[in-house]
């Protein structure tokens, strides 16, 4: 994913998280876990990417393009105590590409509980990224 403006990434991530939550608000037997998983994962990725861009500008660091979720978590954790305090250990898809490119295997969780966990992680990161975004404007 190319480096966009953090404001745009944040807005896109917020829309993705809303879609995931709409799916998760259904009765568990009606949840399409694939959709909820993909939207949650993309929201988390975009929130972390927005935060990483803000942090890299603040610290005058050049970010590598197309970082994985795991790499974004590591980078953001190094520059934010709040991110470092979040437990990402149950996130199973950190090293896989977030955007499907046709050749890569699509990774997703089928458990509504696991998908809900990812949506909650995205919401936590949203709060932190939102504070940093407001400071940077």
What percentage of the chain has pLDDT greater than the value 90? 61
User: Whole-number mean pLDDT of the chain?
Assistant: 87
**pLDDT for residue 62:** 92
**What local confidence, expressed as pLDDT, does residue 106 receive?**
60
1/54: higher pLDDT: 54
pLDDT for 94 equals 61
In order of their start, the domains of the chain are 6-136 (1.20.120)
CB–CB of 40/118 below 8 Å?
Answer: yes
| Tens-digit pLDDT profile for residues 65-112 | 889 899 999 999 999 999 999 999 888 776 555 555 555 556 667 778
Is the full-model pTM beyond 0.75? yes
Phi, psi at residue 25, to the nearest 5°? -75, -10
- pLDDT tens figures, 113-129: 888 999 999 999 999 99
Q: Are 109 and 98 in contact (CB under 8 A)?
A: no
Q: From CA 124, how far away is CA 107, in angstroms rounded?
A: 22
Structure confidence at residue 2 (pLDDT) = 45
């Amino acid at each position: 994913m190319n480096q966009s403006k953090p404001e745009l990434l944040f807005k896109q991530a917020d829309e993705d998280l809303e879609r995931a939550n709409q799916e998760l608000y259904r009765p568990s037997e009606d949840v399409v876990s694939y959709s909820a998983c993909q939207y949650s994962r993309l929201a988390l990725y975009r929130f972390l990417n927005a935060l990483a861009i803000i942090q890299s500008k603040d610290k005058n660091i050049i970010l590598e393009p197309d970082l994985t979720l795991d790499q974004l978590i590591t980078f953001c954790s190094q520059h934010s105590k709040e991110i470092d305090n979040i437990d990402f250990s149950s996130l199973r898809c950190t090293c896989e590409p977030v955007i499907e490119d046709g050749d890569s295997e699509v990774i997703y969780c089928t458990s509504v509980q696991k998908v809900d966990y990812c949506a909650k992680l995205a919401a936590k990161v949203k709060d932190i990224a939102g504070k940093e975004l407001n400071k940077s404007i």
